[in-house]
Structure 1
């Protein structure tokens, strides 16, 4: 494969090929530049700890140094990397014995009414995103607080779908869930967040 003079011109998959073939540091650094923030945000959503997210970020890219040669291009590189990052994050939680103590169940947040008809939340990206309604630092803190109260298995799916904009199919591959299970978790997370933000609005304005 002809090597582009500028790594910015290469696809993710080409960068992987260049690194595997030549241990090209510039190609690897470009992958880090493209995905470092995304991996950090995902790790933070799972752990709710910035320090833990930083450690996981370093661990993920150490894993990549060793495992990039196993990438077979059967899926997009980003999908493969998210799988590595999510696995590393959950493993970190287990090993540190700092699993969330939340026992919250979202079983009551069912997106269907008594007649089995979908209601309340659409499958497309969350309409009426709270960041368009709540402005400034206080609004951002309320949103983060609400997302932080989601159980981790719902929090990570919500993050991938509504923040990172992955498709349900991509998420299913990363987390090894069925597509219907992904959609169900996203919908329940959205319903939960809608209710939580309503509570916060009430606290904020009715004090």
Structure 2
């Protein structure tokens, strides 16, 4: 498909990127925190990918290459806005930031279970959103987008060892934040079941 696009059939580009639209938007939203800004970043990433399609070597998956363009665009936009500072691996995540993509409801569920599931999902989104970008991007790629360690390393332009270290630290931070909150959910569930 890429060969065909490069040969002049540019109409196929939309078919090429369609499976990745949601992933690119979610990645942009995790950085930008605003729907409009995230849409701008996603759109710019797709445009840059189109312009640089001839540079795609096929050494990584197309999705990995596209996500790395999205990450670079989001980071660049934040740098231009002066909102991002360099972070140390030893720093703890900042408080107050959160990620809130739209949630889909399954109406066939028991209402109490649906409410509990929504609450847990919101806790997870908040915990991911509270991570610094250094850790958040690894968690999103590995645990949300289900990239392999190697694909994550390629997308972030870091070593596989760094992916493992950042992912471990991010999971530990999330566990520390979520453990007490999830305990409360578990206690309420036992009460409802009783």
- Do the two structures share a fold, i.e. TM-score over 0.5? yes
Match 1:181 to one of 162, 168, 184: 162
2:125 matched to 1:144? yes
Match 1:57 to one of 42, 46, 50: 42
For 2:60, what is the secondary structure of its paired residue? Answer: coil
Q: Gapped runs of 5+ residues in structure 2?
A: 94-112, 188-194
Task: Using structure 1 for the length normalisation, give the TM-score.
Answer: 0.71
Q: What is aligned with 1:94? A: 79
Match 1:48 to one of 33, 36, 40: 33
- Relative to 1, partners in 2 of residues 1:60 and 1:171: Cα closer, same or farther, differing over 3 Å? same
Note if contact 2:120-2:182 (Cα within 8 Å) is conserved in structure 1.
no
What is the count of residue pairs matched by the alignment? 167
Q: Which of the two has greater helix per residue?
A: 2
1:205 deviation in Å?
7.6
1:42 deviation in Å?
1.2
1:50 deviation in Å?
2.6
**1:111-130 matches, cutoff 5 A:** none
Q: CA RMSD in A?
A: 2.8
Structure 1: distance between partners of 2:123 and 2:3: 43
Note if contact 1:100-1:152 (Cα within 8 Å) is conserved in structure 2.
no
2:6 matched to 1:20? yes
**1:168-207 matches, cutoff 5 A:** 168-201=149-182
Q: What is aligned with 1:82? A: 67
Task: Using structure 2 for the length normalisation, give the TM-score.
Answer: 0.76
